[in-house]
Protein backbone atom coordinates (compact mmCIF):
# COMPACT_ATOMS: atom_id res chain seq x y z
CA UNK A 1 0.00 0.00 0.00
CA UNK A 2 2.86 2.37 0.75
CA UNK A 3 4.34 1.86 -2.72
CA UNK A 4 0.93 2.51 -4.33
CA UNK A 5 0.48 5.63 -2.24
CA UNK A 6 3.96 6.81 -3.15
CA UNK A 7 3.26 6.23 -6.85
CA UNK A 8 -0.06 8.06 -6.57
CA UNK A 9 1.59 11.08 -4.94
CA UNK A 10 4.32 11.09 -7.57
CA UNK A 11 1.72 11.01 -10.36
CA UNK A 12 -0.23 13.82 -8.68
CA UNK A 13 2.87 16.03 -8.72
CA UNK A 14 3.63 15.14 -12.34
CA UNK A 15 0.08 16.04 -13.39
CA UNK A 16 0.39 19.26 -11.41
CA UNK A 17 3.55 20.23 -13.28
CA UNK A 18 1.84 19.63 -16.63
CA UNK A 19 -1.50 21.32 -15.96
CA UNK A 20 -0.40 23.99 -13.47
CA UNK A 21 2.78 25.08 -15.24
CA UNK A 22 3.39 23.53 -18.68
CA UNK A 23 0.04 24.07 -20.38
CA UNK A 24 -0.55 27.59 -18.94
CA UNK A 25 2.81 28.74 -20.31
CA UNK A 26 1.88 27.44 -23.75
CA UNK A 27 -1.57 29.05 -23.59
CA UNK A 28 -0.13 32.39 -22.54
CA UNK A 29 2.33 32.43 -25.43
CA UNK A 30 -0.46 31.31 -27.78
CA UNK A 31 -2.80 34.07 -26.59
CA UNK A 32 -0.07 36.68 -27.08
CA UNK A 33 0.53 35.40 -30.60
CA UNK A 34 -3.21 35.46 -31.38
CA UNK A 35 -3.65 38.79 -29.57
CA UNK A 36 -6.64 37.42 -27.68
CA UNK A 37 -7.19 39.81 -24.79
CA UNK A 38 -9.61 37.60 -22.84
CA UNK A 39 -7.35 34.54 -22.70
CA UNK A 40 -4.28 36.72 -22.19
CA UNK A 41 -5.90 38.45 -19.21
CA UNK A 42 -7.07 35.12 -17.79
CA UNK A 43 -3.55 33.68 -17.95
CA UNK A 44 -1.99 36.86 -16.58
CA UNK A 45 -4.22 36.68 -13.52
CA UNK A 46 -3.58 32.96 -13.22
CA UNK A 47 0.20 33.42 -13.11
CA UNK A 48 -0.09 36.07 -10.40
CA UNK A 49 -2.17 33.70 -8.29
CA UNK A 50 0.11 30.74 -9.06
CA UNK A 51 3.03 32.41 -7.29
CA UNK A 52 1.67 30.82 -4.12
CA UNK A 53 2.25 27.37 -5.64
CA UNK A 54 5.93 28.15 -6.21
CA UNK A 55 6.16 29.55 -2.70
CA UNK A 56 4.73 26.28 -1.37
CA UNK A 57 7.41 24.34 -3.26
CA UNK A 58 10.07 26.39 -1.45
CA UNK A 59 8.34 25.61 1.83
CA UNK A 60 8.26 21.91 0.97
CA UNK A 61 11.99 22.04 0.30
CA UNK A 62 12.44 23.80 3.63
CA UNK A 63 10.21 21.19 5.32
CA UNK A 64 7.87 23.82 6.74
CA UNK A 65 5.15 21.97 8.65
CA UNK A 66 2.21 23.64 6.87
CA UNK A 67 3.74 23.45 3.38
CA UNK A 68 1.29 20.82 2.11
CA UNK A 69 -1.66 22.86 3.36
CA UNK A 70 -0.36 25.90 1.51
CA UNK A 71 0.17 23.80 -1.63
CA UNK A 72 -3.48 22.75 -1.57
CA UNK A 73 -4.66 26.30 -0.93
CA UNK A 74 -2.58 27.44 -3.90
CA UNK A 75 -4.07 24.88 -6.30
CA UNK A 76 -7.60 25.76 -5.15
CA UNK A 77 -6.93 29.49 -5.63
CA UNK A 78 -5.49 28.83 -9.07
CA UNK A 79 -8.61 26.89 -10.02
CA UNK A 80 -10.92 29.59 -8.70
CA UNK A 81 -8.97 32.25 -10.58
CA UNK A 82 -9.71 30.70 -13.99
CA UNK A 83 -13.48 30.50 -13.34
CA UNK A 84 -14.06 33.67 -11.31
CA UNK A 85 -14.29 36.40 -13.94
CA UNK A 86 -17.74 37.00 -15.46
CA UNK A 87 -16.55 39.13 -18.39
CA UNK A 88 -13.95 36.54 -19.42
CA UNK A 89 -16.46 33.69 -19.06
CA UNK A 90 -18.95 35.55 -21.24
CA UNK A 91 -16.28 36.25 -23.84
CA UNK A 92 -15.18 32.62 -24.02
CA UNK A 93 -18.78 31.52 -24.54
CA UNK A 94 -18.91 33.61 -27.71
CA UNK A 95 -16.36 31.45 -29.47
CA UNK A 96 -17.33 28.20 -31.13
CA UNK A 97 -15.35 24.95 -31.05
CA UNK A 98 -13.50 25.79 -34.27
CA UNK A 99 -11.50 28.49 -32.50
CA UNK A 100 -8.76 26.28 -31.10
CA UNK A 101 -7.28 28.74 -28.57
CA UNK A 102 -10.45 29.25 -26.56
CA UNK A 103 -11.49 25.60 -26.92
CA UNK A 104 -8.11 24.50 -25.54
CA UNK A 105 -8.45 27.06 -22.74
CA UNK A 106 -11.86 25.69 -21.78
CA UNK A 107 -10.56 22.10 -21.76
CA UNK A 108 -7.57 23.20 -19.69
CA UNK A 109 -9.82 24.89 -17.12
CA UNK A 110 -11.77 21.68 -16.56
CA UNK A 111 -8.55 19.64 -16.47
CA UNK A 112 -7.06 22.04 -13.93
CA UNK A 113 -10.16 21.66 -11.78
CA UNK A 114 -9.88 17.87 -11.90
CA UNK A 115 -6.16 17.93 -11.06
CA UNK A 116 -6.72 20.29 -8.10
CA UNK A 117 -9.55 18.15 -6.69
CA UNK A 118 -7.48 15.01 -7.18
CA UNK A 119 -4.52 16.62 -5.41
CA UNK A 120 -6.75 17.61 -2.50
CA UNK A 121 -8.25 14.12 -2.20
CA UNK A 122 -4.77 12.62 -2.35
CA UNK A 123 -3.59 14.98 0.38
CA UNK A 124 -6.56 14.25 2.62
CA UNK A 125 -5.49 10.62 2.71
CA UNK A 126 -2.51 11.89 4.70
CA UNK A 127 -4.42 14.53 6.65
CA UNK A 128 -1.86 14.74 9.46
CA UNK A 129 0.69 16.00 6.91
CA UNK A 130 -1.27 19.26 6.65
CA UNK A 131 0.14 20.33 9.99
CA UNK A 132 3.21 18.14 10.45
CA UNK A 133 5.00 17.46 7.18
CA UNK A 134 8.15 16.27 8.99
CA UNK A 135 6.63 13.05 10.31
CA UNK A 136 7.83 9.75 8.83
CA UNK A 137 4.44 9.11 7.23
CA UNK A 138 4.72 12.35 5.24
CA UNK A 139 8.05 11.58 3.61
CA UNK A 140 6.33 10.73 0.33
CA UNK A 141 5.17 14.37 0.04
CA UNK A 142 8.71 15.68 0.40
CA UNK A 143 10.31 13.38 -2.16
CA UNK A 144 8.94 15.12 -5.31
CA UNK A 145 10.45 18.43 -4.17
CA UNK A 146 13.90 16.86 -3.72
CA UNK A 147 14.68 17.04 -7.46
CA UNK A 148 13.69 20.71 -7.52
CA UNK A 149 15.93 21.27 -4.50
CA UNK A 150 18.90 19.78 -6.36
CA UNK A 151 18.26 22.00 -9.41
CA UNK A 152 17.90 25.19 -7.35
CA UNK A 153 20.94 24.26 -5.26
CA UNK A 154 23.11 23.84 -8.37
CA UNK A 155 21.82 27.07 -9.94
CA UNK A 156 22.31 28.98 -6.69
CA UNK A 157 25.87 27.73 -6.43
CA UNK A 158 26.56 28.54 -10.10
CA UNK A 159 25.25 32.12 -10.02
CA UNK A 160 26.12 33.16 -6.46
CA UNK A 161 28.87 30.75 -5.49
CA UNK A 162 26.98 29.91 -2.32
CA UNK A 163 25.21 26.89 -0.93
CA UNK A 164 21.39 26.83 -1.10
CA UNK A 165 20.18 25.05 2.01
CA UNK A 166 16.80 23.96 3.32
CA UNK A 167 16.74 26.71 6.00
CA UNK A 168 17.34 29.28 3.24
CA UNK A 169 14.47 27.78 1.22
CA UNK A 170 12.22 27.97 4.27
CA UNK A 171 13.15 31.60 4.96
CA UNK A 172 12.61 32.65 1.34
CA UNK A 173 9.32 30.77 1.27
CA UNK A 174 8.00 32.36 4.46
CA UNK A 175 9.13 35.85 3.41
CA UNK A 176 7.48 35.42 0.00
CA UNK A 177 4.35 34.08 1.68
CA UNK A 178 4.11 37.21 3.82
CA UNK A 179 4.41 39.47 0.74
CA UNK A 180 1.83 37.35 -1.09
CA UNK A 181 -0.67 37.54 1.78
CA UNK A 182 -0.25 41.33 2.02
CA UNK A 183 -0.86 41.64 -1.72
CA UNK A 184 -3.95 39.42 -1.51
CA UNK A 185 -5.35 41.46 1.37
CA UNK A 186 -4.75 44.68 -0.55
CA UNK A 187 -6.59 43.29 -3.59
CA UNK A 188 -9.48 42.07 -1.41
CA UNK A 189 -9.89 45.48 0.27
CA UNK A 190 -9.42 47.83 -2.67
CA UNK A 191 -9.90 46.11 -6.03
CA UNK A 192 -12.47 43.40 -5.34
CA UNK A 193 -15.17 45.77 -3.96
CA UNK A 194 -14.58 48.14 -6.88
CA UNK A 195 -14.50 45.71 -9.81
CA UNK A 196 -16.23 42.64 -8.39
CA UNK A 197 -15.98 39.72 -10.79
CA UNK A 198 -15.09 41.94 -13.70
CA UNK A 199 -11.49 41.50 -14.88
CA UNK A 200 -11.68 44.65 -17.07
CA UNK A 201 -9.78 42.81 -19.80
CA UNK A 202 -11.23 44.93 -22.60
CA UNK A 203 -14.07 47.25 -23.45
CA UNK A 204 -13.67 46.34 -27.09
CA UNK A 205 -14.90 43.27 -28.84
CA UNK A 206 -13.03 40.05 -29.39
CA UNK A 207 -9.69 39.84 -31.12
Q: What is the pLDDT of residues 115-154, one digit of tens each?
A: 999 889 888 888 889 999 988 888 888 877 777 777 777 7
Return all residues near 172 (Cβ < 8 A) that are at least 6 apart. 58, 62
Q: What is the Cα–Cα distance from 46 to 71, expressed in whole angstroms? A: 15
Q: Is residue 205 part of a domain?
A: no
Task: State the total domains in the chain.
Answer: 1
The vertex-45 CA angle with 39 and 51, nearest 5°, equals 135
- In this structure, what DSSP letter does residue 169 have? H
Q: Is residue 64 part of a domain?
A: yes
CB 43 within 8 A of CB 31: yes
129: closest CA among 53, 51, 175, 72? 72
Q: Is residue 202 part of a domain?
A: no
- In this structure, what DSSP letter does residue 129 have? G
Helices 86-93 & 37-49 angle (0-180, nearest 10): 140
8 C-beta neighbours (distance < 10 Å), count: 14
Q: Is residue 206 part of a domain?
A: no
pTM of the model: 0.89
pLDDT < 50 regions, the chain: 204-207
Q: Is residue 56 part of a domain?
A: yes
Q: Is residue 179 part of a domain?
A: yes
Q: Is residue 190 part of a domain?
A: yes
In terms of residue numbers, what domain contains 129? 2-195
Q: What is residue 205's predicted lDDT score, i.e. its pLDDT?
A: 46
- In this structure, what DSSP letter does residue 18 have? I
Torsion over CA: 206, 89, 97, 79 (sign): positive
Q: Is residue 200 part of a domain?
A: no
Amino acid sequence: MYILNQLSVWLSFQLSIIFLIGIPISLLLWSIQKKNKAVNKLLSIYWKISLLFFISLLLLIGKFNYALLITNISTLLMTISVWFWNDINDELKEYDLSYSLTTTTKVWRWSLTFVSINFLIQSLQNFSCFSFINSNACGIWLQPSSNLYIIIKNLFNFFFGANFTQPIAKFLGLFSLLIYILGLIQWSIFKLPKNGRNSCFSENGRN
